[in-house]
């Protein structure tokens, strides 16, 4: 948050312009040491080297018998090679005694290969003898042996800065001897609802009241974006209440509010934010969604999203999610997109970019809307796995048209 926000009130902004202005003022958070069990989804802030070879010693990949390949070179089902069994080695044993030539060691998966042995014959290729074993196949040297360092070499860089830690990377950190790693700090985002009409979910709304939905959708969207929600609750429609809630929110890394940014009599957000922060109030040429406010309080970015539940979640998706991901050090800020064939006519306001909540079917390459698209109809969002992104311009997009689709439902990856 380096440059002061500019006032652009009144002039409609495009979605892309608004996002660019937001992202130019957002910077990745500093890094921190985090226990690896709590690092899923984080962005690595260091190169990680293996402390030792993994595996640290040559060991058996199978339950069977460790031998010298040269001792069983002539073996076949018709002509077993019979070897005395001299050792019995389980996973966790130290295997200090060497294996003499012309003998076998019973060995379990993960057990260290005794000195002298170079190959493991699976139980299934033997008669499983205890004192003497009959070997029925000739196996190439090194078969069923995991070499020391075949996974990771001591000192080798096994994960690089910028890597996103998934389950597999967390496992690599563990096996490389790292109980904690340096990662970009996970942003904490305060979530604040505004409105005299709101009651808690557990309450039965009285006359004129509704349950607070946005707190839950936005807190969940914050978490899904890889950040940590800090729920502030409901601020009533007075300057004092709003000021107190926003001051509390500014203790976190970012603030996400809903409602109160419009031109209603009790929309106090503008007044209060002018007093304690700096803010742009934007009319964005999109539906659903406008108006959206963006600015800062004490250097912390604040996203003032509209109150309508669909608009709130959609503007979060388009503006706050990429920003939180940038703060978390992610390099892919946007959802994947595709093109698909529309299976119905879609009407839209010609002067606005329109995001229809949609069901995309990858198999047929088609997409349809989820039905009624009003900005209060949250079900249009819960039925959707994607958004149809229709540009400013046309008023009617015909069935059969190829359209842009934002895939909002794919698992996060790199
Ligand atoms: P506002 O922008 O504050 O005028 O709110 C616009 C619409 O969204 C109004 O119908 C509000 O009742 C509704 N709304 C605002 N906040 C919430 C919320 N947290 N949960 C559900 N609906 C809300
Ligand atoms: Mg309101």
304 in ligand 1 pocket by Cβ < 6 Å? no
Give, for ligand 1, the residue of 201, 260, 263, 308 to mutate: max count of ligand atoms closer than 8 Å to Cβ. Answer: 308
Q: Please report, rounded to a whole number, the percentage of residues in the chain having pLDDT higher than 90.
A: 86
Q: Which of 307, 312, 315 maximizes ligand 1 atoms within 8 Å of its Cβ, making it the mutation to test the pocket? A: 307
Query: Ligand 2 (ion): which residues have CB within 5 A?
Result: 195, 259-260, 307
**pLDDT tens across 391-400, in order?**
999 999 999 9
Mean pLDDT of 187-195: 97
Residue-level pLDDT at 9: 52
Domain boundary among 125, 146, 167: 146
CATH number at residue 209: 3.40.980.10
How many domains, in total, are found in the chain? Answer: 4
64 lines ligand 1 (CB under 6 A): no
Whether 116 and 237 share a structural domain: no
Q: What angle do CA 229, 232, 234 make, to 5 degrees?
A: 130
What pLDDT is stored for residue 283 in this prediction? Answer: 87
Distance between CA atoms of residues 237 and 132, nearest Å: 87
For residues 197 and 287, state if they share a domain.
yes
Entry pTM: 0.86
The pairing of strands 278-284 and 12-13 is parallel
> Which of 121, 146, 171 corresponds to the end of one domain?
146
Q: What is the pLDDT of residue 8?
A: 43
Atom of ligand 1 nearest to the CA of 267: 3
**Which residue has 């003022």 as its token pair?**
25
For residue 412, pLDDT over 90 is answered with no
Of the listed ranges 109-113, 187-191, 374-378, the one predicted with least confidence: 374-378
Task: Please give the distance, rounded to the nearest whole angstrom, from the Cα atom of residue 309 to the centre of ligand 2.
Answer: 12
In the structure encoding, which two tokens stand for residue 164, read together?
């996103």
For residues 238 and 287, state if they share a domain.
Answer: yes
Q: Residue 93 belongs to a domain with what CATH number?
A: 2.170.190.11
CB of 380 closer than 6 angstroms to any ligand 1 atom: no
Other C-beta atoms closer than 10 Å to the C-beta of 37 total 10
Residues 15 and 284 sit within 8 Å (Cβ to Cβ)? yes
Query: Does the residue 239 lie in any domain?
Result: yes
Asked if residue 76 is part of any domain, the answer here is yes
Q: In this structure, is residue 224 part of a structural domain?
A: yes
Residue 193: nearest ligand to its CA?
1
pLDDT at 410: 74
Annotate 279-312 with DSSP letters as a single string.
EEEEEESEETT--EEEEEETTEEEEEE-SSHHHH
In ligand 1, the atom with minimum distance to the C-alpha of 237 is 3
CA of 26 to the centre of ligand 1 (A): 27
Q: Provide the pLDDT for residue 411.
A: 64
| Residues 266 and 124 occupy one common structural domain | no
Average pLDDT value for residue range 24-47: 97
Q: What is the pLDDT of residue 414?
A: 37
Could you tell me if 352 and 376 lie in one domain? yes
348 C-alpha to center of ligand 1: Å?
A: 23
Mean per-residue pLDDT of the chain: 93
Tell me the per-residue pLDDT of 1-26, one tens digit each, with 9 for 90 and over: 333 334 445 678 999 999 999 999 99
Question: Containing domain of residue 398, as a range?
Answer: 337-407
Minimum mean pLDDT range among 88-97, 159-168, 287-296, 352-361: 287-296
* CB 288 near ligand 1, within 6 Å: no
Residue 378 resides in a domain: yes
Indicate if 300 and 157 belong to the same structural domain: no
Q: Whose CA is nearest to atom 16 of ligand 1?
A: 307
Q: Ligand 1 in contact with 308 (CB < 6 A)?
A: yes
């Amino acid at each position: 948050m380096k440059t002061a926000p500019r006032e652009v009130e009144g002039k409609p902004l495009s979605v892309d312009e608004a996002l660019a202005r937001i992202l130019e003022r957002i910077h990745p958070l500093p890094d921190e040491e985090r226990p690896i069990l709590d690092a899923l989804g984080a962005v690595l802030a260091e190169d990680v080297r293996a402390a030792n070879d993994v595996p640290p010693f040559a060991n058996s990949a199978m339950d069977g018998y460790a031998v010298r390949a040269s001792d069983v070179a002539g073996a076949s089902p018709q002509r077993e090679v019979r070897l005395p069994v001299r050792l019995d080695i389980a996973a966790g044993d130290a295997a200090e005694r060497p294996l003499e030539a012309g003998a076998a060691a019973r060995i379990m998966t993960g057990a260290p290969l005794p000195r002298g042995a170079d190959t493991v014959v699976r139980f299934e290729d033997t008669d499983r003898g205890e004192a003497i074993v009959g070997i029925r196949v000739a196996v190439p040297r090194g078969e069923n042996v995991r070499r020391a360092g075949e996974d990771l070499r001591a000192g080798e860089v096994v994960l690089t800065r910028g890597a996103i830690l998934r389950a597999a990377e967390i496992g690599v950190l563990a096996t490389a001897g790292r109980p904690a790693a340096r990662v970009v700090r996970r942003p904490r985002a305060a979530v604040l609802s505004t409105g005299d009409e709101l009651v808690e979910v557990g309450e039965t709304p009285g006359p004129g009241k509704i349950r607070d939905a946005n707190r839950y959708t936005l807190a969940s969207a914050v978490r899904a974006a890889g950040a940590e929600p800090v729920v502030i609750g409901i601020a009533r429609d007075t300057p004092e209440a709003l000021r107190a809630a926003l001051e509390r929110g500014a203790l976190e890394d970012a603030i996400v509010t809903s409602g109160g940014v419009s031109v209603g009599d009790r929309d106090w957000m503008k007044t209060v934010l002018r007093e304690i922060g700096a803010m742009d109030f934007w009319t964005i040429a999109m539906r659903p969604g406008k108006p959206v406010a963006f600015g800062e309080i004490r250097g912390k970015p604040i996203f003032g999203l509209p109150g309508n539940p669909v608009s709130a979640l959609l503007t979060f998706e388009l503006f706050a999610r990429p920003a939180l991901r940038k703060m978390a050090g992610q390099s892919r800020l946007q959802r994947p997109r595709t093109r698909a064939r529309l299976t119905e006519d879609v009407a839209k306001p010609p002067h606005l970019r329109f995001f229809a909540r949609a069901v995309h079917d990858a198999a047929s390459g088609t997409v349809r809307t989820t039905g009624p698209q009003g900005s209060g109809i949250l079900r249009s969002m819960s039925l959707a796995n994607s958004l149809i992104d229709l540009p400013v311009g046309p008023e009617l997009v015909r069935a059969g048209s190829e359209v842009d689709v934002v895939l909002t439902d794919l698992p996060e990856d790199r």
